[in-house]
Structure 1
Amino acid sequence: MSKTLPKGLYAPLPVFFNAEDEIDVTGPGILPIVSASMGEAVHLTSQERIKLIQTLRNALNSIGLQKTPIVAGVGGNSTRETIQLARDAAAAGADFALVIAPGYWAGYLKGNPAAVKRFFVDVAAGSPIPVVIYNFPPVTAGIDLESDDVAEIAKRAPNVCGIMLSCGNVGKLARIAALLDGTSFTTLAGLIDFLLPSVVVGSAGAISPLPNIAPKFSMKLWDLTQNLQTKADLKAAQKSQGLASLAESALLKSGVPGLKALLNKDFGYPAVPRLPLLAHSDVVTLSQNQYISDILDLEKDL
């Protein structure tokens, strides 16, 4: 398997399985992320994480997608734990380790950038699979890597292959792409909300929960961003980007419970998230949200 992240769209898969459940995989052309934020990673035991990766690998293999890479969240609150989670993920069938900063220690780490950088360098050195930095300040108590920090980490740690920027900062994405131009480092938007502008400044794709409910529409948007030769192309991409941004915003406001409720309604997956999160109270209203409804209608047409 290549050590370079493929270009395209990635979907963080919510936790669906119980003991022996089979899971479906996102498609068409959407690459899976397991045990990330939308996958309730912080609520999972190490054995559950392993089970998820194994189940996903088996599901992909069963439909002829043996070469489809799996990105697995391995975030922990110590360097040692994170490295062990990366090793577990590799043994279970993951191809890339998605590493988030240890937010429990945010008070210390925000005042000591050297410690944050060393965390990623050390994890990359101990991981048997390539590491993707996951920059998501809202879930790390505000730890937010600067573009210069990312470039330094990438240069010090050859096993760091990319970053997913869920901070939503297009300027930072542009700076990272410029600083690491000519290398194999892959920069991805952390939300489909800014896919179009991020592609223009060097993004290789995006991670988003939206493909879980509208994979065909999401891939249409991706294809539009890859063909911007004329004003008509740009206008079509802008229109689809606006629809995607509105729908993703509505989906994110509902969080993990809302996403799982919608997938329960449409596909029969379990709707109840891990405690302390509670099941979404009104899936009918959520599915009738104007922006989500518009996307689901377009998905059916596609």
Structure 2
Amino acid sequence: MAKAGVAGIVTQGTNGEAVHLTNLERSTVNRTTRDALSRTGYENIPIIVGCGVQSTRETIDLCRQAQDSGGDYAIILPPSYYKANYKPECIKGYFTDIADASPLPILLYNYPAVTGVDLDSDTIIELAKHPNIVGCKLTCGNTGKLNRIAAATTASTHADPGSGFMCLGGSADFTIQSLVGGGSGVVAGLANIAPKSCVKVSELFISDNYHEAKTLQAIVARGDWVAIKTGISGTKCALECFFGYGGFGRKPLPRPTKKEAIDYADMFQEIANVEKVL
């Protein structure tokens, strides 16, 4: 991914099976990632570590652990287990308390399909005033929300460093839309499979090659839809098929059957073919 030109690496994310890792394994993944980047001349690529868990106290501990093991930023999901009991100020307080105590800068992670909690633009804009909250990832796919946040925070873009706040789309299938809306870029799970394709969409758009960008964006969006439909099982299966690594998800995730593995490979074939020629 670094050789493909990505701007940063996420560990302990969805595709990293953060919820299936022990604390020791989390640190090991971070250290291994930092070591691999440093040994190959990519020591300046930041590592963004998923640290959000249900309690404020443990999330702060994970932020400290992330710094100790080589992380540069912490990306935090909102708590969700007791969401029926939370008041709006509880969610804001959660992020504020963590930002106050974390040694790493914080990115807010809005992923309502997983958490059932959808942070609105007003909440994110208010939290963005905290000096240690430096960005957000919007996997909700709401480009109107992204546009509002980017404008209110004067988010960094390819053309203007702005305030330094990073307003990031959360999926490769709306890369162009994120950039048009004033976003800083995207954090794309599909980049595990097709990093060059994901990077190329942004490069084409930034260089004003809009027709080529639109054409490639459509291919990337179709590939991302496969990843969305098949989930982490499909993504890891594709990694095994096309690159020979990735393994299978930990239980209780299902292991794909032989037929499912063939079907996943067929569905990812278009984006895999494009990736090979870039």
Q: Which runs of 5+ in 1 are unaligned?
A: 1-24
- Amino acid of the structure 2 residue aligned with 1:65: Y
Q: Do the aligned partners of 1:27 and 1:215 also contact (CA within 8 Å) in 2? A: no
Q: What is the alpha-carbon distance in structure 2 between the residues aligned to residue 136 and residue 33 of structure 1?
A: 15
Quick one: which of 231, 238, 245 aligns to 2:214?
A: 238
| Identity across matched positions, percent | 38
Specify the SS of the correspondent of 1:279: coil
| Larger relative contact order, structure 1 or 2 (CA cutoff 8 Å, min sep 6) | 1
Specify the SS of the correspondent of 1:108: coil
- Residue by residue, what CA displacement relative to the aligned partner does 1:133-169 show, whole Å, maximum 9, x if unpaired? 00000111x21111111111111x2100000000000
Q: What is the alpha-carbon distance in structure 1 between the residues aligned to residue 151 and residue 218 of structure 2?
A: 26
- Which residue matches 2:58? 81
- Which residue matches 1:8? none
Specify the SS of the correspondent of 2:251: coil
Q: What is the alpha-carbon distance in structure 2 between the residues aligned to residue 185 and residue 179 of structure 1?
A: 10
Q: What is the alpha-carbon distance in structure 1 between the residues aligned to residue 3 and residue 172 of structure 2?
A: 16
Quick one: which of 268, 279, 300 aligns to 2:244?
A: 268
Q: What is the alpha-carbon distance in structure 1 between the residues aligned to residue 234 and residue 247 of structure 2?
A: 9
Q: Do the aligned partners of 1:271 and 1:279 also contact (CA within 8 Å) in 2? A: no
Q: What is the alpha-carbon distance in structure 1 between the residues aligned to residue 13 and residue 32 of structure 2?
A: 16
Q: Do the aligned partners of 2:242 and 2:272 also contact (CA within 8 Å) in 1? A: no
- Residue by residue, what CA displacement relative to the aligned partner does 1:202-229 show, whole Å, maximum 9, x if unpaired? 111111121111122222111012123x
Cα shift at 1:246? 1.0
Indicate whether 1:130 and 2:91 are aligned. no
Indicate whether 1:287 and 2:262 are aligned. no
Indicate whether 1:173 and 2:151 are aligned. no
The alignment's TM-score, normalised by the length of structure 2, stands at 0.93
Q: What is the alpha-carbon distance in structure 1 between the residues aligned to residue 83 and residue 140 of structure 2?
A: 16
Q: What is the alpha-carbon distance in structure 1 between the residues aligned to residue 226 and residue 62 of structure 2?
A: 32
Indicate whether 1:219 and 2:199 are aligned. yes
Cα shift at 1:283? 1.6
Cα shift at 1:188? 0.3
Higher mean C-alpha deviation, range 198-207 or range 213-222: 213-222
Q: Which runs of 5+ in 2 are unaligned?
A: 155-161
Quick one: which of 7, 14, 37 aligns to 1:60?
A: 37
Specify the SS of the correspondent of 2:5: coil
- Which residue matches 1:161? 134
Indicate whether 1:145 and 2:125 are aligned. no
Q: What is the alpha-carbon distance in structure 2 between the residues aligned to residue 58 and residue 103 of structure 1?
A: 33
- RMSD (Å), alpha carbons: 1.2
Specify the SS of the correspondent of 2:52: coil
Indicate whether 1:115 and 2:90 are aligned. yes
Q: What is the alpha-carbon distance in structure 1 between the residues aligned to residue 213 and residue 97 of structure 2?
A: 40
Q: What is the alpha-carbon distance in structure 2 between the residues aligned to residue 268 and residue 293 of structure 1?
A: 15
- Amino acid of the structure 1 residue aligned with 2:173: D
- Which residue matches 2:69? 92
Q: Do the aligned partners of 1:75 and 1:100 also contact (CA within 8 Å) in 2? A: yes
Q: Do the aligned partners of 2:2 and 2:42 also contact (CA within 8 Å) in 1? A: no
Paired positions, count: 268
Cα shift at 1:26? 4.8
Q: Do the aligned partners of 1:257 and 1:271 also contact (CA within 8 Å) in 2? A: no
- Residue by residue, what CA displacement relative to the aligned partner does 1:7-29 show, whole Å, maximum 9, x if unpaired? xxxxxxxxxxxxxxxxxx55411
